[in-house]
Amino acid sequence: MPALAMLPRWGFAEDAAAGYAKAAIDWKQFAGQTITLAGAIHPWSNAITPLLWDFTKLTGITVSTDFRLETTYLGALPIQLNRGSSTPDVFMFTTYGQGISAGWLEPLNGYYSDKSLTDLGWYDEGDLLKTARAFPLWSDRERYAVPITSEAVTLFVNGDALAAKNLPVPKTFEDLLVTAKAVKGNEMSGIAMRAQAGGNSSVPAMSFLFSYGGHMVKDGKAAFASPEAIAAIEMYGQLLSQAGPVGIGSYEWYHVLDDFLQGKTAIAIDSSNFATDISNPAKSRVSRQAVFAAFPHPAGQAPIPFMSHWQACINSKSRNKRAAFLFLLWATSKATSLQTAAAGLATTRLSAWSSDGFKKAFGAQAAAAALTNLQNADVDRAKAVLFHPQSRPILDAFMIGVNEVVSGAKSAKIAMTAAAEKANAVIRG
């Protein structure tokens, strides 16, 4: 049985090897080097780790990994980079603006144009999602990162819970509030979303703000004291205070996911990457009745869910930059992406998203919903806050305000006005 179980993996590896052979690249040019890859314990790290031996076999480059819990990793990495450490060589990254302004990130345009390193025809950037092509571009059109995943905020619904009340999947925020309150009971909350007072919890709330027509950052300043932003967070607060679970103020993404998997909430709103766990009957009690849908919107307005791409960057102090770039090229190629997609990873490539392996692992309905939400997203609104040099304190201030609204400590107007003032004080220095 173990030998039989390996057959599909061998077949996949053989197909991938044929794909790499088509590239006009000397894959062995850095044989003998070792690079360190750091990141969060995440669907990407889980999907790429089993393939690292294939990369070493192809290139002769050894990859040493350092994957940690996300909060631990995001706290430790800036300290390490700020000390000027030459490792990690390659790392998962989110605070793009901070990294560029601090000089931590290696510019990559020159590597893409180096014909001894890159075969652009083989790499086929036209196969990348539109958002993935636009996301890493800095204001000077330089690229300092390579997108490695794709996600957009998505609506998850326990179909049985809504069917019991004869309710359809809500499309507007107004319908969402009515539905969440109607299905809330002693054993099940109506809706769960992140509300912890920290920037890492900001993703769903930003989706509300964008969809109401607001901006997190506009003209370089925090803009979440606008009438649109206040209306968005007022709705966010109503949903969670009136239909959310007990203790919602401490909820991070893993609390939201766990509640939905266990059937403890009827509705959840969070990253499209939840789909792999939700669709997995070994992890999910609601795998059969789960519904994946487009992000809601205010009546008469279009939805604008938050979207993002986790990115991987090269350390500007790395001693193995060219080997590191070859790794990124391999990791995001069509051949590798087809393999990681078959493990359920939402990659950056259209070919992978349309593959049978991805649809089977991720779920066809979930894939369709995620693509819809990616297409409805506004890359520039997301980049304005994510790429700001002070993105972390901006997001922290925002979510402290959101938490105050959810807990009932302050009105949306008072909380978001104070939050924007705090963020702008940081920006002004």
Sign of CA dihedral 35, 40, 41, 45: negative
Confidence at residue 1, expressed as pLDDT on a 0 to 100 scale: 27
Q: How confident is the model at residue 10 (pLDDT cuts 50, 70, 90)?
A: very low
**Average pLDDT for residues 120-133, to the nearest whole number?**
95
Is the pLDDT confidence value at 37 over 90?
yes
Q: Structure tokens of 251?
A: 């909820």
DSSP secondary structure string for all residues of 325-343: HHHHHHHTSHHHHHHHHHT
Ranges of beta strands (E only) in 211-259 are: 217-218, 221-222
DSSP 267: E
pLDDT at 429: 87
Lowest mean pLDDT across 83-87, 157-161, 359-363: 359-363
What's the CA gap between 32 and 51, in Å, rounded? 18
* Percent residues over pLDDT 70 in the chain: 97
How would residue 70 be classed by pLDDT, with cut points 50, 70 and 90?
confident
Q: How does the average pLDDT of the chain come out, rounded?
A: 94
pLDDT in tens, 84-94: 999 999 999 98
**Are 169 and 187 within 8 A, CB to CB?**
no
Write the pLDDT tens digit of every residue in 321-345: 999 999 999 999 999 999 999 999 9
Reply yes or no on whether the pLDDT at 291 is more than 50.
yes
Residue 349's pLDDT is 96
Contact 384, 215 (CB under 8 A): yes
The b/e string for 216-249 (b: 16+ C-beta within 10 A; e otherwise) is: bbeeeebbbbbebbbbbbbbbbbbbeebbbeebb
pLDDT in tens, 49-65: 999 999 999 999 999 99
Q: For strand 34-40 and strand 90-93, is the pairing parallel, antiparallel, or unpaired?
A: parallel
- In this prediction, residue 139 carries a pLDDT of 86
Q: What pLDDT is stored for residue 3 in this prediction?
A: 32
Q: What is the full DSSP assignment across 379-428?
A: HHHHHHHHTSTTHHHHHHHHHHHHHHHHHTSS-HHHHHHHHHHHHHHHHH
Task: Say if CB 45 and CB 92 are below 8 A apart.
Answer: yes
CB-count burial class (<10 Å; 0-12, 13-18, 19+) for 429 = exposed
Predicted confidence at residue 12, as pLDDT, reads: 55
Query: Which pair of tokens denotes residue 279?
Result: 């669709």
Q: What is the mean pLDDT of residues 214-220?
A: 96
The reported pLDDT for the residue numbered 14 is 65
The dihedrals phi and psi of 298, each to the nearest 5 degrees, come to -70, 150
The predicted model gives 72-77 an average pLDDT of 93
pTM to 2 decimal places: 0.86
**How large a percentage of the chain has pLDDT more than 90?**
89
Terminal Cα distance for the chain, rounded: 63
pLDDT at 94: 86
2 pLDDT more than 50 = no
Structure tokens at 238: 């109503």
The reported pLDDT for the residue numbered 294 is 98
- If you search the block for the tokens 């490539």, which residue do you land on? 349
